[in-house]
A and B are shown apart, each in its own frame.
Chain A
Amino acid sequence: MHVVNRWRSWAWVLPALTLLLVFVYYPIVENLRLSLYSWSAFSAQPTFVGLDNYRTAAGDPVFWRALRNNTVFAVTSLVFQVGFSLVLAAVLEEFVHQRLRGILRTIYFIPAVISITVAGILFSFLYNPQIGLLNRLLDAVGLQSWQHSWLGEPSTAMWSIIAMSQWQSIGYTAILFVVAIQRVPREFYEAARIDGAGKIRSFFSITVPMVREMTTLVTILTISGAFLVFNEVMVMTAGGPSNSSQVLGTWLYRNAFLNDDMGYASAIATVIFVITLLIGAVQIYVSRRRRIEW
């Protein structure tokens, strides 16, 4: 009777667990298996090919370019969404009066609530050589030589997408830092001020160390977000021109659903999985080490 009762408590977690196991865990395990086969969506017989799909990836220049693009995406996002956002949050908290501060925070956050698709299409219009504002702005300030067909040229496409992503995300991470800064006891700043430290000094010796935990978290989120990026690229360039803005996610999509090379696409998915796993491991390692340290 007692045992039955204890098992009955599983009724609470069963719906959540079932969905999680069937639609999240099973596909990820299945993906590992599928990556060892050569198959397409419409062929009946998958053939076992061992690690061939991974060898294909190793020899595929587009795969490496995609990986590099993801890395560039991650590094740029770190600069803006961690570095710049932290400064922005500190400036908002230190320089701006209460009411205006709220308004500015709200404004900076707005891009984060519109969908990436809307933002992506909007920016592809902004970059458009015919109607876009960017080239006209450059024209107006006399920098005609800087004009580009931003999404149409291999050298600028990736950067244009990255820039859009920063526009969308800075407000979001800045809010997270604002919350972290608000948790810092005001006395520390008071003490620093009495001791003669200026605002810049207090930023580096109080704010930065005190929000370290949030910085770690935002760093992890930003890096994993950059390696999972898909929507922005799909909407703005679909990986083009000539694969110059391909990222792992779009290269996976292209191979799976347009080239119908499901096995190779599964192998790319596994690579993405391993990368996110590594990032997760780093996160656990960092938070555990901190717990011991403190």
Chain B
Amino acid sequence: MVMTAPTKAGTVPAVTSRSRTVRPRWIRSLMSVLVWAGLGLLVIAVLYPLLWMVFSSFKDNREVFDSPWGMPGRLRWENFGKAGNAGVVRYFTNSVIVTSLSILTTVLISAWAAFGLVRQKIVGGGIVLGLLLGGLMLAPTVALIPLFGLLQNLRIFDTYWALIVLYTAFRIPFTTFLIRAYMIDISPEVDEAAKLDGCTPAQTFWRIILPMSRPILVSAALLQALFAWNEFVFALVFVSNGDLKTLPVGLMDMQSRLLTDWPVQFAGLTMAALPMIVLFLIGQRQFLQGLTDGIGK
């Protein structure tokens, strides 16, 4: 399957081989100047807004207006304290609770299902896979209105559980496929050896397969963290108690409350953005691996 495209591609250069033209040096240097200028501009376009956010969170209101491009005159850490008191700390805590619990439930339930699908002969396993695949395509917005009633009937509307349950349910398809793709590559001999040693399938799962799948579980956890930390629409609709709001919705609330206290708003944004950036810089490899594995299979 990989072979068709290369042959197509391979024939093209052969035609041009006789009429090989060496471009004048100045054109080539012009090209690389343009490329580097483009890459550099893109770096500025990406980083400058973020730096502006961080710098502005140390300024006072006058500096935000008068020297928007400059560095803050001094580091006003108190802006972060004010942002914290204005709600960021509470939103932050809520986000941590919802994110970590949903990581736990999503990864465990998905790994459990993935192991079952890979190793146990399940009656109608094909249907389960089909349902999971379909679940990948279904969008949260479409389910919004019925969920509103459903969560109220289950009496978890306006609680942490509303978000934890939904973040788990909507991410199970992706996470299961991700972990399943990894478990398929674990040799069945591992299971057989465990069976000979007297392990039940459940023991095999907890003691052997789960520890062996650690790399993909880390990837899955990081991607779930990214999702749950940033999720917006469920958090907006299903939590109305101000004390339970997560960061994305809380920040939006704060924006309308603080209005023109710019530095404090910037400080709030910085506090919200930093954990994910740090987590990404630390776990970059697992992050990207999970991303590309999940998307490629």
Q: From A110, A197, A221, A262, give the contact of B50 (CB < 8 A).
A: A110
Contacts of A96 in B (CB 8 A): 39
Q: From A28, A117, A175, A224, give the contact of B288 (CB < 8 A).
A: A175
In the complex, A61 Cα to B32 Cα: how many Å? 49
**B142 contacts A13, C-beta separation under 8 Å:** no
Contacts of B100 in A (CB 8 A): none
**B292 contacts A16, C-beta separation under 8 Å:** no
Instruction: Answer yes or no: B74 CB below 8 A from chain A CBs.
Output: no
- Asked, given contacts A118-B269, A171-B46, whether A133 binds B170 with beta carbons under 8 Å apart, the answer is no
**A276 contacts B139, C-beta separation under 8 Å:** yes
Which residue of chain A has the shortest Cβ distance to B52 in the bound complex? A133
Q: From B6, B166, B280, give the contact of A185 (CB < 8 A).
A: B6
**A197 contacts B112, C-beta separation under 8 Å:** no
Encoded as 1 (CB less than 8 Å from any A CB) or 0, chain B from 138 to 154 comes to 11011111111010000
In the complex, A160 Cα to B292 Cα: how many Å? 30
In the complex, A41 Cα to B115 Cα: how many Å? 42
Give the interface residue-count category, chain A.
35 or more
Contacts of B262 in A (CB 8 A): 125, 131
**B232 contacts A104, C-beta separation under 8 Å:** no
Contacts of B229 in A (CB 8 A): 115
Which stretch from A142-150, A151-159, A203-211 is at the chain B interface? A203-211
- CB A17 to nearest CB in B, in angstroms, measures 6
Instruction: Answer yes or no: B137 CB below 8 A from chain A CBs.
Output: yes
Instruction: Answer yes or no: B110 CB below 8 A from chain A CBs.
Output: yes
- Asked, given contacts A26-B150, A175-B288, whether A130 binds B65 with beta carbons under 8 Å apart, the answer is yes
- CB A249 to nearest CB in B, in angstroms, measures 5
- CB A226 to nearest CB in B, in angstroms, measures 12
- Asked, given contacts A9-B116, A26-B150, whether A110 binds B6 with beta carbons under 8 Å apart, the answer is no
**A256 contacts B144, C-beta separation under 8 Å:** yes
- CB B268 to nearest CB in A, in angstroms, measures 9
**A196 contacts B135, C-beta separation under 8 Å:** no
Which secondary structure characterizes the binding site on chain A?
A: helix
Q: From A212, A235, A253, give the contact of B5 (CB < 8 A).
A: A212
Which residue of chain A has the shortest Cβ distance to B128 in the bound complex? A13
**B170 contacts A23, C-beta separation under 8 Å:** yes
**A136 contacts B68, C-beta separation under 8 Å:** yes
In the complex, A38 Cα to B115 Cα: how many Å? 45
Contacts of B232 in A (CB 8 A): 115-117, 230-231, 234-235
- Asked, given contacts A269-B145, A272-B139, whether A121 binds B6 with beta carbons under 8 Å apart, the answer is no
In the complex, A202 Cα to B10 Cα: how many Å? 10
Encoded as 1 (CB less than 8 Å from any A CB) or 0, chain B from 272 to 293 comes to 1100110111001000100110
Listed by A's residue number, 24 A-B pairs whose Cβ atoms lie within 8 Å are A12-B113, A13-B117, A13-B125, A19-B109, A21-B131, A24-B143, A28-B143, A106-B281, A110-B277, A117-B251, A118-B248, A126-B52, A136-B68, A192-B13, A197-B12, A201-B12, A228-B141, A231-B248, A252-B141, A253-B144, A257-B237, A266-B145, A270-B142, A276-B138
Question: Which A residues lie at the B interface, using CB under 8 A?
Answer: 6-7, 9-13, 15-17, 19-28, 30-31, 34, 41, 88, 91-92, 95-96, 104, 106-111, 113-118, 121-123, 125-126, 130-131, 133, 136, 167, 171, 175-176, 179, 185, 188, 191-192, 195-198, 201-202, 205-206, 209-210, 212, 217, 221, 224, 228, 230-231, 234-235, 249, 252-253, 256-257, 262, 265-266, 269-270, 272-273, 276-277, 280, 291, 294
Besides the known contacts A12-B113, A15-B113, A171-B46, 20 further A-B residue pairs in the complex with CB atoms under 8 A apart: A7-B123, A10-B122, A20-B173, A24-B143, A24-B169, A27-B145, A27-B146, A28-B138, A31-B145, A91-B35, A113-B277, A115-B229, A117-B249, A117-B252, A131-B64, A167-B45, A228-B141, A230-B232, A235-B232, A269-B143
